[in-house]
Structure 1
Amino acid sequence: MKRQGANGVTVNCEDGRLEVAFPAVEAEASRAIASLHAGLSNFGLPGQKIADIKIVLAEAINNVVEHAYAECAPGMVRVSVLDSKDHLEVQIADTGRPLPGLKIPDGIPASVETDTSNLPEGGFGWFLIRTLADEVRYDRKNGQNLLFLRFERTKKADRPQ
């Protein structure tokens, strides 16, 4: 089922695939994240897993909007979620600026060892992405950023041997 929202977010959900496309602006990103969150419920995942995936998607999508398209005309962002028996694969694609050095940041969280008035507002996104996703990969092809995320349905310790 493909649905074009009046807000610029396009959602396509069929046969184990969820696709969302939207202009890279803050309001549309928020709507897209909400659409993705709603669509994840179709994959039969536990509530905590859906919450973790939503956090990762929100962090990654907001990075695209805030950094990849900073100081340039916003382009489109496309998010594809593919369901398989034991994991979900997510691809986020955009044509914004590449990641610095063409690599994923280390994800070392900002220090909170400071006075509360000096606590950082950011610096935790890549840490959360790397912590909550089971695999994170980045590629730049033909002027397009491709972020690949993999989420196992169960953690290795939870799986029967």
Structure 2
Amino acid sequence: MLAESPIPPVHASLPEVRINVDSGPQAARQALDQLKRNLAPLSLDIEEFGAVELVLAEAMNNICEHAYAAGARSGPIRLRCQHRRDGLHFSIADEGMPMPGECTPLGLAVNVAVDLMDTPEGGFGWFLIRDLAKDVSYQRHGSVNHLSLRMAVAIG
């Protein structure tokens, strides 16, 4: 759910974007393809959309791999986006398992100054999300996870 913001939407011509996909290996790609088409009127440059794509792909892949227990069960992923003066506001909701401790991971930087064979396989996702996104917030309401964040792109 998108939190009510005192900052109004920027363009009446760019309505709120709502995308629904089923979890699975192609969920993030399907949602991002739809999002790219919907955000075309903003003319985001490649770096801006690349950051949006990276953050949302990490978040949605985490939902598919962890909230929906690595494919043991599938379910809906609902992505919403609003364009406001301070950027793009996103909300991602799913009906999977809650995050451990019902809070987002810290997303600390992973030590990469180690031998290649000792480099961790994972642990970069939440670091990237927290590094690139603003106002990251997670809440669990009943059986639904809600992740909201803001990308400081398309500011105007």
Normalised TM-score (structure 1): 0.80
Letter of the aligned partner of 1:42 in structure 2? P
Contact 1:137 1:147 in 2 (8 A): yes
Match of 1:94 in 2: 94
When structure 1 is superposed on structure 2, of 144-153 and 113-122 the one drifting more is 113-122
Q: What secondary structure, in the 3-state scheme, does the structure 2 residue paired with 1:26 have? A: coil
Distance across 2 between alignment mates of 1:62 and 1:37: 17
Determine the C-alpha separation between the residues in 2 that align with 1:144 and 1:75: 11
Contact 1:76 1:95 survives alignment (8 Å): yes
What is the aligned-residue RMSD (CA, Å)?
2.0
How many residue pairs are counted as aligned between the two chains?
Answer: 143
1:22 Cα deviation from its structure 2 partner: 0.7
Segments of 5+ residues of structure 1 without an aligned counterpart are: 1-13
Structure 2 vs 1, CA of residues 94 and 117 (structure 1 numbering), >3 Å: closer, same or farther? same
Q: 1:23/1:85 Cα in 2 relative to 1: closer, same or farther (>3 Å)?
A: same
Report the Cα offset of residue 142 of structure 1.
1.7
Higher relative contact order (CA 8 A, sep 6+): 2
Deviates more, 1:110-119 or 1:16-25: 110-119
Separation of aligned partners in 2, 1:98 and 1:105: 12
Identity over aligned pairs, percent: 36
User: TM-score under structure 2 normalisation?
Assistant: 0.82
CA distance in 1, matches of 2:130, 2:114: 24
Contact 1:41-1:50 within 8 A present in 2 as well:
no
Aligned-partner Cα distance in 2 for 1:86–1:29: 24
1:43-122 mapped onto 2 (5 Å cutoff): 43-70=42-69, 72-122=72-122
1:37 to 1:15, Cα distance in 2 relative to 1, 3 A: closer
38-47 vs 93-102, greater mean Cα deviation: 38-47
Structure 2 gaps of 5+ residues are 1-12
Instruction: Give, in whole Å, the separation in 2 of the partners of 1:124 and 1:136.
Output: 16
Task: Choose 22-31 or 99-108, whichever is displaced more.
Answer: 22-31
- State the Cα deviation string for residues 1-34 of structure 1 (Å, max 9, x = none): xxxxxxxxxxxxx743211111110123322222
Alignment of 1:6-21 (within 5 A): 15-21=14-20
Give 1:44 deviation, angstroms. Answer: 3.5
Higher relative strand content = 1
In 1, Cα distance between equivalents of 2:154 and 2:81: 17
Deviations 1:19-62 (A, max 9, x none): 11111101233222222233333334333221111110000000
Cα contact 1:98–1:145 (8 A) shared by 2: yes
